[in-house]
Amino acid sequence: NASLLGILQHPDGTVLKQLQPPPRGPREQEFYNKVYDSDCCDSILLELREYLPKYFGVWSPPTAPNDTYLKLEDVTRKFNKPCIMDVKIGQKSYDPYASAEKIQQQVSKYPLMEEIGFLVLGMRVYHVSSDSYETQNQHYGRSLTKETVKDGISKFFHNGYCLRKDAIAASIQKIEKILKWFEGQQQLNFYASSLLFVYEGLCQATTVRLSDVTLAEKRGVPKGLLSGGDILEYNNNIHVINSTENGKIEASVSKGLSKFYALHKKAYSKRHHSQLSLKVENLEQDNMWKSSTCITQEHLNGNVIPQLEKVFCHMPTERKESANVEVRMIDFAHVFPSNTKDEGYIYGLKNLITVLQNILDN
């Protein structure tokens, strides 16, 4: 996952980003030093820390003391199958001090920057079905137009089974917090800076094949549910087991477990219908389990869901906490002091929110 960002992973849970040649490298280092200064008492900078990777100073390899690396938090570390996207934000990807040729070079790379306000620099998406990653490089982002940018971004949230609406909604909430910070500060302007998006690609219930879901939809019962035997197998993905007391389903969802448990046919009498509920024993996996609602949202008509709840298991619709998603600001080689709002960055954030909201609504 670090190769996407051109940085090295350190065994201690940080990443090492090589300092660029002057003036860019020193400028980025100065930015981090300023924001993370232990004497900092500027509330705007203190809040900004929330949206950045944690900074642990600089590091040089003993063998090459002149090579300097920024030591930063690895935002992807807590994820099993991190899906990562790097999006450059702003209407201009050149700074106020850029030469005419630098401006020309930057504009020609993506002439739509002014209009769209952001550019996808790369993405890496975990596909559940193939247990592999699909990667897109910067050429992918530059090929996106006003008309195709929505589909281009939605690709990042599609895991081969369904659109991860939970991850989109959580991303919007996090961008909105960053937008609010930008609306409230006039001391820094950011050029050619990015947002790093990370969400958990391991979404438990997506191991149900779509054809199975469609089948359940047509028949109103999962295939194999009505045959005999204490433990019934459902396409090797779902094992139907005896119900526990009160007809409740106990789902133990644990790391790497690609199966979930549903009620045995004996529990499908009417008196149990109202009691169907789901208990997730491993709270760490709670989010992933909840994100499995993407199946019901994406592939089942609303009117089928009540039927499925009767014969299947109740998929929680409300989320007590947002999906396992990180959105962090990165790349600060072109951050400059200012006395005005960063309108270009604000424009980009607002447009990105609009695009994500459109994906969610349609």
- Residues 259-277, buried b or exposed e (16+ Cβ, 10 A)? bbbbbbbebbeeebeeebe
* Cβ 76 vs Cβ 196: under 8 Å: no
Instruction: Please state, in angstroms and rounded to a whole number, the distance separating the CA atoms of residues 144 and 115.
Output: 12
The highest-level CATH class for domain 75-203+322-361 is alpha beta
HSE, CB side, 13 Å, CA atoms: give it for residue 25.
12
pLDDT, tens only, 163-180: 999 999 999 999 999 999
Number of continuous H segments (helices) and E segments (strands) in the chain: 13, 16
Report the distance separating Cα 184 and Cα 94, nearest Å. 23
Q: Regarding predicted confidence, which is higher, 160 or 6? A: 160
Q: Is 40 in a helix, a strand, or coil?
A: coil
Question: Is the model's pLDDT at 260 over the cut of 80?
Answer: no
State the pLDDT confidence band at 204, using cuts at 50, 70 and 90.
low
Of the candidates 165, 94, 82, 154, the one whose C-alpha atom is nearest the C-alpha of residue 125 is: 82
- Report, as an integer, the average pLDDT of 334-346: 98
- Number of other CB atoms surrounding residue 177 within 10 Å: 12
pLDDT of residue 173: 98
Are the C-beta atoms of 89 and 51 separated by less than 8 Å? Answer: no
The token duo for 187 is: 């001391």
Per residue in 25-50, pLDDT (tens digit) is: 999 999 999 999 999 999 999 999 99
- Cβ of 49: how many Cβ atoms within 10 Å? 13
pLDDT of 318 over the 50 cut: no
- Summarize pLDDT for 96-155 with one digit per residue, the tens: 999 999 999 999 999 999 999 999 999 999 999 999 999 999 999 999 999 999 999 999
Beta bridge partners of 330: 194
